[in-house]
Chain A
Amino acid sequence: MGKTSLVQRFVRSIFSEKYHTTIGVKIDQKELTVNDVEVTLLLWDIHGEDDFMKIKPTYLIGSSGYFLVADGTRSDTYETAIKLHEMTSSVTKNAAFILLVNKADLKDSWEITDAQLDTLKEQGWQIMFTSAKTGENVENAFAQLTKKMLQNQQYV
């Protein structure tokens, strides 16, 4: 889906075409300022959900917010994101979240349709299109999620 690529783009401003499967969780840190509030984000890049590795709830406990990442060019990731949301929202007790549909640079080849995304928007999902490859909307996505987390914590 590009989760690791998104984090690398945000934290280190780098992108690699090479696909490297994530095992377990990798923790990174990044500081940013949102609405004049200095925030240090601890980013947990968690492995993908599949038949071989299920995401452990312990990875999610205590998180203030999360991204669900789908790959616009693969329709099955849309279904996976919906399934994951059911688990994550209950474990994190409705922490702030945004669905990122990644690979916006390949929009011409997308399988996830506007109709599918509209369905989620009607359910109150915030959806953003990103590209870890080009950097499109990546910083904005993290800024938006941070704002939502701060709102939840009533700093804003």
Chain B
Amino acid sequence: MSNRPEFTEAITDYIISKIPPYIGLAVLQLNEEGRLINWMGPTHKYLDEKPKKEIEIELLAPFLTGMIPPMINPMVLPHVQIKTEQYAEIHIVEDELMHLWVFFVDQTRNAEKLQQLLQEVNNVRLKHYNATSRSAASPFAAFHLLDFASFVYSDKTYRPIGNQPVWIKELSQAKLFSEDPVPMTEIFPFIEVFQYEAASCWEGKSDAKIESGIWEEDSIAGRKIYLKAMAIRHNHNNYLLIKTVNREGKQDNQLIQKAREQKLTLDQLARTERELKKLLDFKDQFVSIVSHDLRSPIGAVIGIANLLLQDKALLQKLNEKQKELLVDINDEMQRLLDYNDKLYHWSNLELGNFQLHFKSIKPANIGKYVERMQHIKLNQKHIRLVQQFETQSNFELKADETLLSQAINNLVGNAVKFTPEGGTITIGSQINGSDYEIYVSDTGIGMPAEVSNKLFEGFNRRSTLGTYGEKGTGLGLGIVKKILEAHRFNIRVESEIGQGSNFIISIAMKK
């Protein structure tokens, strides 16, 4: 700090008469050019930098820019917020020597008290304004006389309009209505559901309304209060009106409300179903594409394995173990190809990527096809395939020969898997009442009821090993079911452990 400033007589008089006695007083003395000559007091409270002689006042105190020299003498500016938590009354006085004096009087405490007081006053004023003055222009300002509690809905908040009807005070959550905005969905969880419907009204372009069903709330006295809401759109503004209703109207409106809720649930379910279907379709498309593309490389490996197995010169050079491995490669790749084919068929069936080509077919032809497909495995296990297709009836079987043959071939393939060596598999047809039946029976190991009951439900990951340790894909019966469903044929299985299984395809005979 420099030498103590020398106050002129006029300045001394001013200080005595105008400056409130306060410890926080800081003084700056400036020359006629606005440069600092002298200073005293706690300047650090009001200035960010230490005062220096000759510094321009606007550099030291930017908030004084434009005030030096003052337009009126003296110039007094009360409650200047110099820093975030520092207020000052600033006096700027020019003395008879044309020096300028700047006095800072700390007003922080005074300003804080004033701020608190005015904040409370303004909060109440604004709340009152929102509830009455502003809402006086609203078409629903006087609806409390009709027992409506009215609110304007904007920016996802509810603000009250007009006065409150008497029944509000009876509610157990009455106090929450004094908040602004009103926490509506906290007070009435029902409204959170109703908002979903109300959105269709509030987001419209023209005037509209939609009513809710009746719901019940608890009163302070312990009795039930029945309420009903109305969402209104009027003149591009959105409103919510709530009213009490008597109990007589409760039943019908409860039904309406239940129906509405059920519709909402159904709509949501329908949407979810559509989304799930999209996902499922995507999955099937992906599987279809991948399985299709895998055919070539798998086929190539099988081809190479076969070539090697036919190369006698090579085989002579291999030991038994190595020959076995070569056979295993061929078998496993063959199995992989078979699996891949099933996957491809399955995905395309799921996607509906097939068209049924119906024509009259002879079941016996299917028998021959299946025998051709299965003869190697049948021979390996010395299983006898018997064909018993009926020829007495005039029934004309109409089906997609390729797909139906594939389905029956799958059934026979399963039968081969689960029939021990020396067993018998019978494929045939018969008339059973009004149905034409094609069946595949075996003398295999059979299955318990808990397995047969769930045989056609989706994928079967618990694929059982065959009597020769044959591995399954879990897809075969699923493909069978898909194909038969497409034909509108039914399938059932009769089986007992140790007694074999009988798969029966039923075809309704149309008259």
Residues of A within 8 A of B (CB): 19-21, 23-27, 29, 42, 47, 52-53, 56, 58-59, 61-62, 73-76, 106, 108-109, 111
Residues of B within 8 A of A (CB): 62-63, 65-67, 71-72, 75-82, 87, 107, 111, 114-115, 118-119, 121-123, 126, 129, 133-134, 137, 152, 154, 236-237
> What are the residues of chain B within 8 A of A47 when measuring CB–CB?
79
State whether A108 and B236 are in contact (beta carbons under 8 Å apart), knowing that A24-B78, A42-B65 are contacts in the complex: yes
Residues A58 and B119 in contact, CB atoms below 8 Å apart:
no
State whether A29 and B62 are in contact (beta carbons under 8 Å apart), knowing that A23-B87, A56-B78 are contacts in the complex: yes
Cβ-closest chain A residue relative to B235: A108
> What are the residues of chain A within 8 A of B114 when measuring CB–CB?
23
> What are the residues of chain B within 8 A of A74 when measuring CB–CB?
129, 133-134
Q: Which residue among A21, A24, A47, A75 has the maximum number of chain B CB atoms within 10 Å of its CB?
A: A24
Closest chain-A Cβ to B125's Cβ sits at a distance in Å of: 8
Residues B76 and A58 in contact, CB atoms below 8 Å apart:
yes
**Complex: A29 Cα to B65 Cα, angstroms:** 10
**Complex: A24 Cα to B115 Cα, angstroms:** 10
**Complex: A29 Cα to B71 Cα, angstroms:** 21
Residues B75 and A25 in contact, CB atoms below 8 Å apart:
no
Residues A21 and B237 in contact, CB atoms below 8 Å apart:
no
> What are the residues of chain A within 8 A of B111 when measuring CB–CB?
23-24
> What are the residues of chain B within 8 A of A111 when measuring CB–CB?
134, 137
Across the interface, A23 reaches (CB within 8 A) one of B72, B76, B81, B82, namely: B81
Closest chain-B Cβ to A77's Cβ sits at a distance in Å of: 10
| A-side interface mostly | loop
**Complex: A38 Cα to B173 Cα, angstroms:** 58
Residues A61 and B134 in contact, CB atoms below 8 Å apart:
no
> What are the residues of chain B within 8 A of A23 when measuring CB–CB?
79, 81, 87, 111, 114-115, 118
Residues B122 and A24 in contact, CB atoms below 8 Å apart:
no
> What are the residues of chain A within 8 A of B134 when measuring CB–CB?
73-74, 111
Residues B129 and A58 in contact, CB atoms below 8 Å apart:
no
Cβ-closest chain A residue relative to B77: A58
Cβ-closest chain B residue relative to A40: B65
Cβ-closest chain A residue relative to B113: A23
> What are the residues of chain A within 8 A of B129 when measuring CB–CB?
74
Cβ-closest chain B residue relative to A25: B80
**Complex: A56 Cα to B72 Cα, angstroms:** 13
Residues A21 and B119 in contact, CB atoms below 8 Å apart:
yes
> What are the residues of chain A within 8 A of B107 when measuring CB–CB?
24
**Complex: A53 Cα to B152 Cα, angstroms:** 32
> What are the residues of chain A within 8 A of B126 when measuring CB–CB?
19
Beyond A29-B62, A53-B118, 19 additional contacts (C-beta under 8 Å) are A21-B119, A23-B81, A23-B111, A23-B118, A26-B81, A27-B80, A27-B81, A27-B82, A42-B66, A47-B79, A58-B76, A61-B72, A73-B134, A74-B129, A74-B133, A74-B134, A106-B154, A109-B154, A111-B134
Cβ-closest chain B residue relative to A28: B63
**Complex: A74 Cα to B136 Cα, angstroms:** 12
Q: Which residue among A47, A61, A73, A111 has the maximum number of chain B CB atoms within 10 Å of its CB?
A: A61
> What are the residues of chain A within 8 A of B67 when measuring CB–CB?
62
**Complex: A52 Cα to B115 Cα, angstroms:** 11
**Complex: A27 Cα to B65 Cα, angstroms:** 10
Closest chain-B Cβ to A5's Cβ sits at a distance in Å of: 14
Residues B154 and A20 in contact, CB atoms below 8 Å apart:
no
Residues A25 and B66 in contact, CB atoms below 8 Å apart:
no
Cβ-closest chain A residue relative to B117: A52
29 contacts between A and B (CB under 8 A): A21-B119, A23-B81, A23-B115, A23-B118, A24-B80, A24-B87, A24-B107, A24-B111, A25-B80, A26-B80, A27-B63, A27-B80, A27-B81, A27-B82, A29-B62, A47-B79, A52-B118, A52-B121, A56-B78, A62-B67, A73-B134, A74-B133, A106-B154, A108-B154, A108-B237, A109-B152, A109-B154, A111-B134, A111-B137
